[in-house]
C-alpha cells in the first residue's frame, strides 16, 4: 500500500496543481465580465474560490501525507494537521474580516506557502517547522494590515523617513552584519537572525511611491536616483548583489511608470549593463558565478557543482517527477534556500514546475491589475513596485537554477527557506490587499454617489412634469 501511495500521489498533486493554476488565471481581474450582471459574476467567483480552496488543501494533504507514508514518523502527521488548521484559520478569518478583499490573491499566497512547506518538510523537517511558525506569525499579523492601512492616511508624506530608515538598516548590516557565503546579509538580534534588506524592499517602494506621488519631473527623479544609489551602493559594498539588482530594477520601472518617458527606461537599461560589467570586474565571486554559468561542466567538481546538480535534478524528474522523497535533491548544496525550484522539478515533475511558474505570473498580473486600476498615484506606484520586485526576484531565482542567467543567491518568494524573505513577502501581499480594499471602497462610494445624483435628477424631472 505504501508503495502505491508513493507512486501515485504525484499524479494527484500534479492534477490538483494544474486545475488550481487554471482557476487562478480565470480569477484574474476580479471584476464582472462584460455582459454579466454583478450577481452572476459574484456567484462564479464564489464557486471558483471554493474549488481553489479544495484544491489547495488537496495538494497540501497529498504532499505531506506522502512524506508521512515514506518516513512513517508521527511528527509528520501532526505537522500536517497543524498546517491544515493554520491555513484554514487564515482563509476563514480573511474572508470574514474582508468580505470585499481579493480572496484569490490571498488563496494564491496560501498555495505558494503550502508548496514551500511541503518541499521543506521533505528536505529538512527542522527547517520546515521553523519556517511554518514564522509564516504563521506573519500571516496572523498581516491580516491586520488592511485595517490599519486605511487609518494611516499620512503614509504618502513620509518620504524621507522611508529613505533614512532604509539606508540606516542597510548600513547597520554593512557594519555589524555576519558574513554568509562571502556576503554580509544579516545580523542577530536577541539570538534571531534578521536580513534587513528584505524588509527595506517595502520601505524602498514606499519611498519611491511617495517621492513620485505629486510629480515625476527632473526635480523629483534626481533626488530619487541619489537615494536609490545610496541603497544600491550599500548593498554592493555588502556584496549582496542579487538584492541590489532587485532594488535597481524597482527604481527604473517605477521611474518609468511615474514619468511615462521611455528614455528613463533605456537609460536604466544602459546603467544596469554598466553596473553588471563593473560588478564583474570588482567582485571575484561574480566572476566565479559567470564562469560557472558559461561552462559549468568544465568546473563541475568546484564552482560548477551547484548548477550542474540543479540541471541533473530538473532533467531527471521528467514530466511527472520521481515522487516526493524518491529523488536526490539533497545533493544540491543550499537546496532549501537557493535551489528549491530544482527540487520541485525533480520530485513533482516538469508539469508541476511549469504550473508553479504560471501561478507566480498570475500573482504578478493580479498585483499589476490592482496597481493600474487605482487612480491614487501613491497606492498605484506602491502596488506596481511590489509587482516588479516580486516577478524580478522569481526571474533571478528560477533563471539561475535553470542556467538561463548566472546565479544571484536570492530566494524564491514564499517557497524557499528564509524567515525574513517569507515575512517580507507576506507583508508585501498584505499591503497589496489593503490597496485593493481601498480601491473597492472608493468605487463603491462613487457608485453610491452616482445613484444618489441619478435619483435626485429623476425626482427633479418628476416634479417638473
3-state helix/strand/coil string of the chain: CHHHHHHHHHHHHHHHHHHHHHHHHHCCCCCCCCCCCHHHHHHHHHHHHHHHHHHHHHHHHHHHHHHHHHHCCHHHHHHHHHHHHHHHHHHHHHHHHCCCCCHHHHHHHHHHHHHHHHHHHHHCHHHHHHHHHHHHHHHHHHCCHHHHHHHCCCHHHCHHHHHHHHHHHHHHHHHHCEEECCEEEEEEECCEEECHHHHHHHHHHHHHHHHCCCCCCHHHHHHHHHHHHHHHHHHHHCCCHHHHHHHHHHHHHHHHHHHCCHHHHHHHHHHHHHHHHHHHHHCHHHHHHHHHHHCHHHHCCCCCHHHHHHHHHHHHHCCCCCCCCCCCHHHCCCCCCCCHHHHHHHHHHHHHHHHHHHHHHHHHHHHHHHHHCCCCHHHHHHHHHHHHHHHHHHHHHHHHHCCCCCCCCCCCCCCCCCHHHHHHHHHHHHHHHHHHHHHHHHHHHHHHHHHHHHHHHHHHHHHHC
Q: Is the per-residue pLDDT at 163 higher than 70? A: yes
Phi, psi dihedrals of residue 413, rounded to the nearest 5°: -55, 130
Q: What is the pLDDT of residue 32?
A: 40
Q: What is the pLDDT of residue 179?
A: 66
Average pLDDT of every residue of the chain: 88
Q: How confident is residue 173, by pLDDT bands cut at 50, 70 and 90?
A: confident
pTM of the model: 0.92
Higher-scoring residue by pLDDT: 288, 269: 269
Q: How confident is residue 308, by pLDDT bands cut at 50, 70 and 90?
A: very high
Q: What is the mean pLDDT of residues 4-23?
A: 89
Q: What is the pLDDT of residue 233?
A: 94
**Distance (Å, rounded) from C-alpha 406 to C-alpha 310?**
13
Q: How confident is residue 35, by pLDDT bands cut at 50, 70 and 90?
A: very low
Q: Is the per-residue pLDDT at 56 higher than 90? A: yes
% of the chain at pLDDT higher than 90: 62
Cell of 21: 493554476
Lateral strand order in the sheet of 192-194: 178-180, 183-189, 192-194
Q: What is the pLDDT of residue 46?
A: 80
Cell of 243: 538584492
Place of cell 514564499: 414
End-to-end CA distance of the chain: 81
Burial 181-209 (b: 16+ CB within 10 A, else e): eebbbbbeeeeeebbbbbbbbbbbbbbbb
Closest CA to 376 of 448, 453, 441: 441
Q: Per-residue pLDDT tens for 204-242?
A: 999 999 999 988 888 899 999 999 999 999 999 988 899
% of the chain at pLDDT higher than 70: 89
Q: What is the pLDDT of residue 33?
A: 43
Q: How confident is residue 37, by pLDDT bands cut at 50, 70 and 90?
A: very low
Contacts 24+ apart (CB under 8 A), 328-333: 329/123, 330/123, 332/306, 333/305, 333/306, 333/309
Amino acid at each position: 500500500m505504501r508503495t502505491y501511495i508513493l507512486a501515485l500521489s504525484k499524479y494527484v498533486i500534479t492534477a490538483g496543481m494544474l486545475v488550481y493554476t487554471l482557476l487562478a488565471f480565470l480569477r484574474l481581474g476580479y471584476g464582472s465580465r462584460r455582459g454579466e450582471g454583478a450577481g452572476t459574476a459574484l456567484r462564479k467567483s464564489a464557486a471558483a474560490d471554493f474549488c481553489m480552496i479544495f484544491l489547495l488543501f488537496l495538494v497540501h494533504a497529498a504532499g505531506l501525507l506522502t512524506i508521512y507514508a515514506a518516513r512513517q514518523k508521527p511528527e509528520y502527521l501532526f505537522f500536517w494537521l497543524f498546517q491544515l488548521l493554520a491555513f484554514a484559520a487564515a482563509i476563514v478569518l480573511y474572508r470574514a474580516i474582508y468580505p470585499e478583499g481579493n480572496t484569490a490573491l490571498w488563496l494564491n499566497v496560501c498555495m505558494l506557502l503550502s508548496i514551500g512547506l511541503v518541499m521543506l518538510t521533505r528536505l529538512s523537517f527542522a527547517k520546515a517547522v521553523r519556517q511554518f511558525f514564522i509564516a504563521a506569525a506573519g500571516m496572523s499579523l498581516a491580516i491586520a494590515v488592511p485595517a490599519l492601512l486605511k487609518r494611516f492616511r499620512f503614509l504618502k508624506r513620509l518620504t524621507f523617513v522611508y529613505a533614512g530608515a532604509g539606508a540606516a538598516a542597510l548600513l547597520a548590516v554593512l557594519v555589524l552584519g555576519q558574513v554568509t557565503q562571502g556576503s554580509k546579509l544579516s545580523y542577530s538580534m536577541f539570538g534571531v537572525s534578521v536580513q534587513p534588506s528584505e524588509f527595506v524592499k517595502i520601505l524602498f517602494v514606499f519611498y519611491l511611491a511617495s517621492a513620485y506621488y505629486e510629480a515625476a519631473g527632473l526635480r523629483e527623479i534626481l533626488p530619487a536616483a541619489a537615494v536609490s544609489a545610496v541603497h544600491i551602493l550599500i548593498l554592493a559594498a555588502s556584496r549582496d548583489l542579487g538584492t541590489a539588482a532587485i532594488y535597481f530594477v524597482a527604481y527604473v520601472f517605477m521611474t518609468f511608470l511615474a514619468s511615462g518617458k521611455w528614455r528613463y527606461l533605456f537609460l536604466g537599461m544602459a546603467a544596469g549593463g554598466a553596473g553588471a560589467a563593473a560588478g564583474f570586474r570588482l567582485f571575484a565571486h561574480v566572476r566565479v558565478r559567470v564562469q560557472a554559468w558559461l561552462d559549468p561542466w568544465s568546473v563541475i567538481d568546484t564552482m560548477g557543482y551547484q548548477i550542474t546538480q540543479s540541471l541533473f535534478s530538473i532533467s531527471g524528474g521528467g514530466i511527472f517527477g520521481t515522487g516526493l522523497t524518491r529523488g536526490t535533491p539533497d545533493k544540491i548544496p543550499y537546496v532549501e534556500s537557493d535551489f528549491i525550484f530544482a527540487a520541485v522539478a525533480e520530485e513533482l515533475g516538469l508539469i508541476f514546475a511549469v504550473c508553479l511558474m504560471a501561478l507566480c505570473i498570475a500573482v504578478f498580473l493580479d498585483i499589476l491589475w490592482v496597481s493600474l486600476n487605482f487612480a491614487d498615484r501613491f497606492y498605484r506606484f506602491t502596488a506596481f513596485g511590489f509587482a516588479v520586485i516580486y516577478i524580478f526576484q522569481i526571474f533571478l531565482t528560477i533563471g539561475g537554477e535553470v542556467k538561463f542567467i548566472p546565479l544571484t543567491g536570492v530566494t524564491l518568494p514564499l517557497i524557499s527557506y528564509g524567515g525574513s524573505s517569507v515575512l517580507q513577502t507576506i507583508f508585501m501581499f498584505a499591503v497589496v490587499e489593503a490597496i485593493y480594499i481601498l480601491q473597492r471602497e472608493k468605487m463603491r462610494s462613487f457608485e453610491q454617489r452616482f445613484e444618489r445624483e441619478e435619483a435626485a435628477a429623476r425626482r427633479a424631472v418628476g416634479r417638473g412634469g
